[in-house]
Amino acid sequence: MNDNDIATVYDASTGQTTTRPLTGEELAEREENRHKFAEEASKE
């Protein structure tokens, strides 16, 4: 796992900030979002 593959998690009920690994579903979605973002950015 690299530093890119984590989520920073803040819980206001405790005031604590932690990290967790991104799930497989989240990683797949990020790849999909990257492609979509690249397509949109090319229109700017």
Contact (CB, 8 A) for 17 and 10: yes
42 binds other proteins (CB under 8 A): no
Residue 20 near residue 9, CB atoms below 8 Å: yes
CB of 23 to other proteins, least distance (A): 10
Rule CB under 8 A: say whether 36 interacts with other proteins.
Answer: yes
H or E segment to which residue 40 belongs: helix 24-41
Interacting residue ranges for other proteins, rule: CB under 8 A = 3-13, 15, 17, 19-20, 22, 26, 29-30, 33-34, 36-37, 40-41, 43-44
